């Protein structure tokens, strides 16, 4: 269980670092912050697994629940589920810029054509036309989030299992008290000296 959990944590770390790079390239500040917290939580999970710290694994498992919720929201956002709209809501950039996902212009097979003299262009911005993409960027972002959810679910299951094993081992043997849980008592020193009365003759 420990080895499997460490393996899943390493996969999560690689996937999070890969995603962090592309989010930096696309100026997606909200995912950047979430990825940073996720990387720290995964490192905490690896440390807790190696050092037999059940509390760290519990914190790691609790974070994975939030991480699954965040990635589910990203999927709904890019697929525009409900009232969410990429053209109106700039949640990923904290409403500080109009940047979109890096995959919008750099997706597989995408051909970017600048639109000159467009009335839709805002100040310091330009309008482009993206055509020929083999897979549109919303689906790439949704697949990336789905992969994160898949790894998080397996990590959550193994984190709960390993933390339970650690807690059972802590209950069976008290690491802090040593042998106190087994009723061990240190031998008491006994004195073999007997005091004899001292008689003096005058």
Q: How confident is the model over 95-106, as pLDDT tens digits?
A: 776 677 888 888
Coil, strand or helix at 195 = coil
CA 193 to chain centre: 66
With beta carbons less than 8 A apart as the criterion, state whether 137 and 100 touch. yes
* Banded pLDDT at 89 (limits 50, 70, 90): low
The domains of the chain are located at: 1-95+136-170
Q: How confident is the model over 21-34, as pLDDT tens digits?
A: 999 998 889 999 99
C-alpha to C-alpha distance for 112 and 31, rounded to whole angstroms:
25
Q: Round the CA-based radius of gyration of the chain to a whole number and report it.
A: 30
Enumerate residues 6+ apart whose C-beta is below 8 A from 4. 158
With beta carbons less than 8 A apart as the criterion, state whether 61 and 5 touch. no
**What pLDDT score was predicted for residue 45?**
92
pLDDT tops 50 at residue 133? yes
Q: How many CB atoms lie within 10 A of CB 19?
A: 23
């Amino acid at each position: 269980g420990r080895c499997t959990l460490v393996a899943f944590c390493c996969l999560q770390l690689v996937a999070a670092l890969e995603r962090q790079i592309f989010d930096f390239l696309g100026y997606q500040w909200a995912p950047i912050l979430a990825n940073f917290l996720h990387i720290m939580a995964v490192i905490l999970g690896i440390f807790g697994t190696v050092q037999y710290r059940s509390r760290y694994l519990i914190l790691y498992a609790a974070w994975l629940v939030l991480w699954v919720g965040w990635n589910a929201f990203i999927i709904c956002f890019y697929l525009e589920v409900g009232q969410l709209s990429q053209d109106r809501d700039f949640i990923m950039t904290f409403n500080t810029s109009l940047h979109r996902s890096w995959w919008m212009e750099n997706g597989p097979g995408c051909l970017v054509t600048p639109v000159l003299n467009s009335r839709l262009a805002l100040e310091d911005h330009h309008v482009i036309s993206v055509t020929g993409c083999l897979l549109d960027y919303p689906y790439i972002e949704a697949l990336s989030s789905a992969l994160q959810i898949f790894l998080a679910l397996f990590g959550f299951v193994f984190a709960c299992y390993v933390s339970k094993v650690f807690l059972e081992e802590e209950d069976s043997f008290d690491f802090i008290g040593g042998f106190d849980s087994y009723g061990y008592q240190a031998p008491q020193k006994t004195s073999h000296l007997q005091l004899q009365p001292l008689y003096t003759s005058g």
